[in-house]
Amino acid sequence: MSDSSPAARFPAGALFDLDGTLLDSAPDMLATVNRMRASRDRPPLTLSEIRPVVSRGARAMASVAFPELDTEGVAGLVPEFLAVYAEELGRHSVLFDGVEAMLAALEAAGTPWGIVTNKPEYLAAQILPQLGWQDRCAVLIGGDTLAERKPHPLPLLRAAESIGIAPADCVYVGDDARDITAARAAGMPSVVALWGYRLDDDDPVAWQGDVMLDAVQALVDPAGWPQR
């Protein structure tokens, strides 16, 4: 008896979060906060202390670096954090294992891919040429590109529109609850990147992504992606 089940396929379009999904940028963030702490005669932090909040942005990083500060004090450090981070950008970060093989597999299948991140667009744009992605990434949307940012669905909807593919025919891959919330609101299937950055009390199962994966390598095979 022959197997009539359809063969697994890559999605028509693939969209990714950046930090914690494609790029292990925690070392860049660590260098940034430790420069800020050193300028105030504070001892350095360790990677394990800052890694869980890397996907949460500049405010979260500043809060971990200076836990004694209130919300206003943390907000006041954001411009300094971004300025120092711009100098450390790409100096220490690396791609997660399997990312290049996955992107090559998507390209071989004719699937355009892009990045939707809450990182400021000017910083994300600087990373692309460092990775040789400036001509490969079909769309880049940062946290300040549009009037809304994740978990709002607008960035994902605009990215899908930009590559000319319906949201339901794209897949979004991210390591944070905001990523999966945005995908669900956009009507876009999602992959929870368990290899990324999470707080100890995060419950990825509760995010209700379509697929949960422990390693990027699973996405080199079309069977690793959500199937319609």
pLDDT at 201: 86
Block means of pLDDT (10 residues each) for the chain, length 228 residues? Answer: 71 97 95 97 95 86 95 96 95 96 98 96 95 97 97 98 98 96 98 91 94 98 94
Q: What is the pLDDT of residues 123-132, one digit of tens each?
A: 999 999 999 9
Contacts of 54 (CB under 8 A, 6+ apart): 19, 20, 25, 26, 29, 61, 197
Query: Which residues are designated catalytic?
Result: 17
Determine the 3-state secondary structure of 85 from DSSP: helix
CA distance readout (Å), 49 to 44, 85, 163, 174, 178: 10, 17, 38, 21, 21
Tell me how long the chain is. Answer: 228
Supply the pLDDT for residue 53: 87
What tokens were used for 28? Answer: 């860049």
Does pTM surpass 0.85? yes
pLDDT tens for residues 150-198?
999 999 999 999 999 999 999 999 999 999 999 999 999 999 999 998 8
pLDDT at 168: 98
Cis before 151 (ω within 30)? yes
Asked if 28 and 92 count as a contact pair (C-beta separation under 8 A), the reply is: yes
Residue-level pLDDT at 5: 58
Q: Which residues pair with 23 in a beta bridge?
A: 19, 95
